Amino acid sequence: MECYACIAFQILSAAYLVLSIARPFPRCYGERGPRRPLLLVHGYMNNPAVFWLLIARLRGMGVTDIHAVTLFPPWSSMEVFASQVSKAVEGILRGGSGEKVDILGHSMGGAVVAYYLKFLGGSKKTRNFLAAGTPFRGTHLAYLGSGRCAFQMTPFSRFIRRLDFEPGDVPATTVYCLRAAFDEYVLPNRSAFLGPPGVDLRFAHLGHGGLLLSRKSAAQIAKVLAP
């Protein structure tokens, strides 16, 4: 599955960029409803296209008020991305979707959300934070990346040291860590787990991309988001 996930992510991301030139994609996938809205935040050098299968599955499970943000430009800083997440949340709430949102951040997107919650007041507006394959303590693979955001994800970077994110930093938000046992992007793997009072959700047979493609992980996400 992980090989398929890596290939699918590249194809979907490229298709998203090409097709969006002719027709911008919607920020809201589904219908606004009585349930709390979900905001999806993608990872490094990706875009919302990587969530399309997950979105389809969640909608089939009753989670219909789903939004996504595109982090741009892709080589910018985590602080810039966090401000974009903040604006996305404000836009969702202004649209009349309640007083709080749920946020799922995949990979780098989870670190961006963590910064938003801890430093930009996002915890007051977020009930559940689902961090899927997020390198909270950095990842050695980031040394191979390019751009400011990649450097910030290296272990012991100034950003990682300043973030030093713990669930206790955001008492108004419940933090869930979705971890893949065979995560080839978060190195070391323990970087994706924060410990209590965060909730550790470990998937024994999945990799980094599989967290977004697996039906089992989608079912667990829908369970967390249930009223």
For residue range 107-122, list pLDDT tens digits in order.
999 999 999 999 999 9
Question: Residues 211-222: pLDDT tens digits?
Answer: 999 999 999 999
According to the model, what pLDDT value does residue 168 have? 94
State the pLDDT confidence band at 92, using cuts at 50, 70 and 90: very high
Q: Where are the beta strands (DSSP E) in the chain?
A: 28-29, 38-41, 66-69, 101-106, 126-132, 174-180, 199-203
Q: What pTM value is reported for the model?
A: 0.91
Distance from C-alpha of 48 to C-alpha of 155, rounded to nearest angstrom: 26
pLDDT of residue 127: 97
The CATH number that applies at residue 15 is 3.40.50.1820
CA separation for the pair 56, 51 (Å, rounded):
9
Q: How many domains does the chain have?
A: 1
Question: What is the pLDDT averaged over residues 130-149?
Answer: 96
Query: How buried is residue 208: exposed, middle or buried, by Cβ count under 10 Å (0-12/13-18/19+)?
Result: buried
Which residue has better confidence, 95 or 93?
Answer: 93
Q: What is the pLDDT of residue 208?
A: 92
Percent of the chain with pLDDT over 90: 71
β-pairing verdict for 66-69 and 28-29 = antiparallel
120 with 90: CB under 8 angstroms? no
Share of the chain above pLDDT 70, in %: 87
Over 70: is that where the pLDDT of 39 sits? yes
DSSP state for residue 127 in the 8-state scheme: E
Over the chain, what is the mean pLDDT? 90
Domain that holds residue 34: 2-225
Mean pLDDT of 23-41: 76
Which pLDDT tens digit goes with each residue over 158-187? 999 999 999 999 999 999 999 999 999 999
